[in-house]
Structure 1
């Protein structure tokens, strides 16, 4: 357990330091956004490029990893929607936001530093495979469900005004446009293309990628903490606490059950710990875009991040036998 605490404690100390800096206004409010942009535009793409270009995946099949991980996403998403309807009285769009909050783990800002510290380079290789499809799949499915929910809410009189019918083609085009402007995608694709060349990644370019990628973890964690005061806890806590339980307990538990049948030990451990990461900011971005569930998603982000300091420690200890 001492080893696990030495892995997890610095992670949440950095998050706490970021939150303290924001709360005491030691840095300008724009600092958090600047740090986030740096992580998304430079640090993480460089890390993913280097990881994919030089990874050793062995004989394990990525499809089994993806199947195991998303086996946990589906029930968490569905149960999150049910909880929002029954405990929070949410409309259909709000229920989808709750589903996103229960299943959209923060793989970039929390998952990457946790995987790297807990499982080393091999763990980061496995996480990179999950990240490679996580964002496009979650964005596409969430947008489609939100569009369908918006139409249903309009027909039932919950919302006013015309709402366009949901369209798979329009959603895929929209997601495609968003992904085409995402630097993370360029890092993943660039690393895959470099890998196909068979060339070694050496020299000054490799050193720059290493230095940039090395900043991803600590800056991402500080940025997470710095952003937390922006999401105040509001309203009743029954639904947010239940959704947090789905994100931090149910989702990784299902991944563990399915992955135990399909994955080698290291990939299983990475998938479970990734699934046990707290809710990412994407849940709140969806909520603000569709103008529903903002308070619920913001509260889940804060509660899940705080509670994950304990639960992630437990999951890492369990998966590593520490």
Structure 2
């Protein structure tokens, strides 16, 4: 367990470095926004394309894997939604809180960290988790918020969802990588080298950007943030473990390990972007991101350590 913690420590140290730069204003919010944009549109996209281009379709599309992840994640989504409704929240607020409870920082934190911790074989399962989060749950929150405001789900809502998916560079890079992989050809060496160099910037850039963005987050409403962080860091991996190991056992134990570890990641920053865009509880999301990221320094190591020991 200590060995795993020491291996994860450099990743969180990079986040802490970014946080310090943001808090001291050495890195301004504008600089953080541009660094995030560079990582999101260029470096991370190159990394995801490289991974997908070197994997077969079977490695990035396993129906049983996806079903197990959806079942466990859906259960926690419903728990968080029910808790919100019991507190008298609106449908839009419940949708945001449920998103916080199940969407982890897979792109910026999970993939770079797990590929180094668990090896390149973790890329396929991580891409499946990322794609499922983006296609299913990122679409669901838009449908619920806009549908609750309009009183119904319109074709305009579905069009917005579709365009959002088509314009997401992470989805596009994964699809293009899989498409290239299906040709059975290697990338032209200069192109492969270009992608490798650009993709290498994703890990330090993403981790630093996470920290710098956290510097602007508030820790208000800690009771709610604590509950949502508990859902994300404890209930989510526990539910996914139950489905992936017992209810719908995944054939590959290593893939199950990666899936459960991914479920243990802290709340993703894009949930805050959605909450801010729709004007639904952004401070609540901000606090949950801050609390879950801080606590995950320990919990992620514990989950990976337990699973690694079991496999």
1:106 CA displacement: 1.2
Partner of 2:148: 149
Q: Does the 8 Å contact 2:4/2:304 carry over to 1?
A: yes
Partner of 1:112: 111
Partner of 2:243: 258
Q: Deviations over 1:93-123 (max 9, x none)?
A: 2121111111111111111122112211101
Structure 1 residues 299-308 or 193-202, which shifts more? 193-202
How far apart are the structure 2 equivalents of 1:34 and 1:137?
Answer: 28
Partner of 1:248: 233
Partner of 2:2: 2
How far apart are the structure 2 equivalents of 1:296 and 1:183?
Answer: 27
Structure 1 residues 118-127 or 180-189, which shifts more? 180-189
How far apart are the structure 1 equivalents of 2:57 and 2:159?
Answer: 32
Q: Does the 8 Å contact 1:56/1:122 carry over to 2?
A: no
Q: Does the 8 Å contact 1:60/1:264 carry over to 2?
A: no
1:268 CA displacement: 0.6
Q: Deviations over 1:273-307 (max 9, x none)?
A: 11111111222222222222122111111111111
Pair 59,204 (structure 1): closer, same or farther in 2 beyond 3 Å: closer
Alignment pair present for 1:28 and 2:28: yes
Query: SS of the counterpart of 2:220?
Result: coil
1:86 CA displacement: 3.9
How far apart are the structure 2 equivalents of 1:52 and 1:20?
Answer: 34
How far apart are the structure 2 equivalents of 1:210 and 1:181?
Answer: 23
TM-score of the aligned structures, taking structure 1 as reference length: 0.89
Q: Does the 8 Å contact 1:81/1:99 carry over to 2?
A: yes
Partner of 1:66: 66
Structure 1 residues 10-19 or 260-269, which shifts more? 260-269
How far apart are the structure 2 equivalents of 1:204 and 1:298?
Answer: 41
1:133 CA displacement: 3.2
Pair 98,17 (structure 1): closer, same or farther in 2 beyond 3 Å: same
Q: Does the 8 Å contact 2:109/2:206 carry over to 1?
A: yes
The runs of 5 or more residues in structure 1 that have no matched partner are 151-163
After TM superposition, the structure 1 = structure 2 runs for residues 1-322 of structure 1, keeping only pairs within 5 Å, are: 1-55=1-55, 62-86=62-86, 89-150=88-149, 164-167=150-153, 169-235=155-221, 237-260=222-245, 261-321=249-309
Structure 1 residues 12-21 or 193-202, which shifts more? 193-202
Across the aligned residues of Structure 1 and Structure 2, the Cα RMSD in angstroms comes to 1.9
Query: SS of the counterpart of 1:321?
Result: helix
Q: Does the 8 Å contact 2:101/2:231 carry over to 1?
A: yes
How far apart are the structure 2 equivalents of 1:108 and 1:59?
Answer: 18
Pair 58,101 (structure 1): closer, same or farther in 2 beyond 3 Å: closer
TM-score of the aligned structures, taking structure 2 as reference length: 0.92
Structure 1 residues 51-60 or 168-177, which shifts more? 51-60
The runs of 5 or more residues in structure 2 that have no matched partner are none
Pair 107,289 (structure 1): closer, same or farther in 2 beyond 3 Å: same
Query: SS of the counterpart of 2:195?
Result: helix
Q: Deviations over 1:214-270 (max 9, x none)?
A: 2211211110000002211113x2222111111111111111111111231110111
The aligned length equals 307
Q: Does the 8 Å contact 1:109/1:221 carry over to 2?
A: yes
How far apart are the structure 2 equivalents of 1:86 and 1:50?
Answer: 45
